[in-house]
Amino acid sequence: MSESEKLLQSSAVVRQRTRTRWPSLAVICLVVVLLFISLNAKLQLLAFPLSLISEPPRPPPDACPQPAPLFPTRRNAAIWETIRTQTASDAFKLGPGGALELLAGAVRIPTESYDDMHPVGVDPRWEVFADFHAYLARVFPRVHTTLKLRKINTYGLWFEWPGADPSLKPVLFMGHQDVVPVEPTTVGEWTHPPYSGYFDGHRIWGRGSADDKNGLVGILIALETLLQNGFTPTRTLVAAFGFDEEASGLEGAGALAGALLTAYGEDGVAFILDEGDGIVNTFGTALAYPCVAEKGYLDVVVEVTSPGGHSSVPPEHTTIGILAALLVQYEANPYPVRLSRGSTPLQTLQCLAQHGGSALPPAIRALILAAPHSDEALRALEGILAKDRLYRSQLATTQAVDVVRGGVKANALPEAAHAVVNHRILTESSVAEVRAHNIAALRPLAERFNLSFTAFGVAEQGAPGTARGTLALRDMYDALEPAPVSPRDSSAYELLSGSIKAAYGTRRGAANGSDTVVVAPAVLVGNTDTQFYWKLSPHIFRYGHGNAAAGLRPDEILDKIHTVDESIDADDFVEMIRFFITLVLNADESVVL
């Protein structure tokens, strides 16, 4: 058995590789903002000659519609005002059993998930989640006695709060219990121990404080607070928490999704809210970025075989040399950048141009506003943005050579070598298109090196004559198509946007609505547990209302998640809870979801 075969066989234990996200969800959704910050000076020098645009730039009337703040005004108005006062108090945040104490306690339980974990019941590393469940039951007694709790695959949590009107579709709040493991060699680099849940007067420190125990605990605090204040829902409310999102998601959300689909049916949920981005200070304007789409995912194994032998008499190209040429061919053939009308990235830009701060370079603002009706402006904008590595990840399928293996001894010609090329698939593309791109890029080299060529189980035409080796392409794990794009012109998106604006405008320290937030749809470059929930609802939003209080810039958010010194601002955590409560109450009153 070759080394490549051994590696592929051993990896089958995992069943599906982690669709690894970037170190911060803020990074993922806010690539567009980072672009303008990093290229601000360059963009001003690249001013496009606007005289070439066939029509003068004008903001399309519906480029980035902004609903008014949405407050509970009917049966939930009084309870919303009561809870608004309650959550603004120091006792709610700092008191015994307060929000920060509850989050800190959750952080202290190291619910790490690993890529190589075996199924539940086989791998003892899952057992820490039982301790976490015991903690949640102790600190959220009303939730556990009032809501119906089902445990799916032992550790998946499915809470259901039945509404008085069963004809209304339920709403689903998501989160995950697991955290990224702490690298043992980095423990000494932490300002405070990674599982201390330490509060320094401003921030809670520890693994999971910002991903995603803040979201999970925040949702449960919101439910506990609603119960404490006598709220009874008209619309059924569901909360589902997986436990291996940072690995494959299969054991947790993968199992939960099947149970939820059986219970509520296809398109049986009004909307789904999962972890995601929040609010960012962009050129002096607060912009909220709910992610309405996710890129797809494909790992391609590129395997080459050729005769071995003694290295003292090598061929012109060894197996590893051939593989190296193939990888160079990959990098010489990147996927084209596409900025298309109606795409989410262009919608994000239009919100920035139409409602963003005055610091945005005027020439770029003009291009963005003209792009919906001017081909010249659209192509010019695409060309400028394509020059930046960060923005390319929004506008193109990306490919990265992440693994290379081959050879066993210095004096032996390698008989096999392989590489793994990771692809994040553009929302307007598909797995089939990416596979076709792989085949087209490598077929000339298969002919050049006289290799028989098999791609994704289909024999491709190789070089004439007797092949001196083989080239095979295959999926390493299950491919994932890009997620369906949640429509902006829906009552669900409007309700979400209005709730974001209401929560932000009434936050602690807000000047009674004198400052506002612009809601702009965005694309998630990585993947969340929502990948298992597509059939439940066409309205899936990845948004957590983070950074609502701190008002940080994108460059100040980057180092808070998946790394040393993970932490969350205390006031930001309270604002997350207030947002969850606002959204629950608004959804409960809605008659159009």
On the question of a cis peptide bond just before residue 200, with omega within 30 degrees of 0, the verdict is no
Q: What is the DSSP code string of 90-118?
A: HHHHHSTT-HHHHHHHHHTS--B--TTPP
Assess contact for 452 and 458: CB atoms under 8 A.
Answer: no
Mean pLDDT of 25-49: 45
| Each residue's pLDDT tens digit, 421-462 | 999 999 999 999 999 999 999 999 999 999 999 999 999 976
Mean pLDDT of 227-251: 98
| Average pLDDT, rounded, for the chain | 89
Instruction: State the catalytic residue, choosing from 160, 178, 382, 589.
Output: 178
Question: Is 246 annotated as belonging to a binding site?
Answer: yes
Burial of 9 (0-12, 13-18, 19+ CB in 10 A): exposed
Distance CA 246, CA 97 (A): 28
- How many CB atoms are located within 10 Å of the residue 122 CB? 8
Q: How large a percentage of the chain has pLDDT more than 90?
A: 77
Domains belonging to the chain, first-starting first, are 89-268+523-579 (3.40.630.10), 341-386 (no CATH)
Look at residue 474 and give its three-state secondary structure. Answer: strand
The question of whether 178 is a catalytic residue gets the answer yes
Mean pLDDT of 401-414: 96
Question: Is 515 annotated as belonging to a binding site?
Answer: no
Assess contact for 440 and 403: CB atoms under 8 A.
Answer: no
Please state whether 407 falls in left (phi above 0), alpha (psi between -120 and 50) or beta: left
Among 511, 509, 563, 569, CA closest to 544: 569
| Each residue's pLDDT tens digit, 338-368 | 999 999 999 999 999 998 877 788 888 999 9
Q: Quick one: pLDDT at residue 561?
A: 73
Question: Is 275 annotated as belonging to a binding site?
Answer: no
Question: Is 571 annotated as belonging to a binding site?
Answer: no
Distance CA 343, CA 364 (A): 18
Least reliable range by pLDDT among 56-60, 212-216, 394-398: 56-60
Q: How many CA atoms lie within 13 A of 36 on its CB side?
A: 25
Distance CA 155, CA 251 (A): 9
Asked whether residue 243 carries a pLDDT value surpassing 70, the answer given is yes
The residue written with tokens 């609903």 in the block is 67
Assess contact for 176 and 245: CB atoms under 8 A.
Answer: yes
pLDDT band at 3 (very low <50, low <70, confident <90, very high): very low
Least reliable range by pLDDT among 33-47, 249-263, 294-308, 342-356: 33-47
| Each residue's pLDDT tens digit, 126-175 | 999 999 999 999 999 999 999 999 999 999 999 999 999 999 999 999 99
Binning the chain into helix, strand and coil, the percentages to the nearest 5 are 40, 20, 45
The question of whether 588 is a catalytic residue gets the answer no
Instruction: State the catalytic residue, choosing from 212, 224, 244, 245.
Output: 245
pTM for this predicted structure: 0.89
Assess contact for 65 and 580: CB atoms under 8 A.
Answer: no
Mean pLDDT of 464-472: 81
Assess contact for 529 and 249: CB atoms under 8 A.
Answer: yes
- Backbone phi and psi for residue 467, each to the nearest 5 degrees, phi listed first: -70, 140
Those residues whose C-beta lies under 8 Å from the C-beta of residue 401, and which sit 6 or more positions away, are 327, 330, 331, 419, 420, 421, 422
| Cα→Cα distances 309→306, 326, 538, Å | 10, 22, 57
Q: Which residues share a beta bridge with 142?
A: none
pLDDT band at 62 (very low <50, low <70, confident <90, very high): confident
pLDDT band at 556 (very low <50, low <70, confident <90, very high): low
Asked whether residue 23 carries a pLDDT value surpassing 80, the answer given is no
Q: Quick one: pLDDT at residue 280?
A: 87
Distance CA 353, CA 518 (A): 11
Question: Is 251 annotated as belonging to a binding site?
Answer: no
Assess contact for 522 and 291: CB atoms under 8 A.
Answer: yes
Q: Look up residue 335 and give its two tokens.
A: 């996927």
By DSSP bridging, strand 451-455 and strand 458-460 are antiparallel
* 3 state SS for 251-263: CCHHHHHHHHHHH
Assess contact for 538 and 512: CB atoms under 8 A.
Answer: no
Q: Which residue has the higher pLDDT, 422 or 5?
A: 422
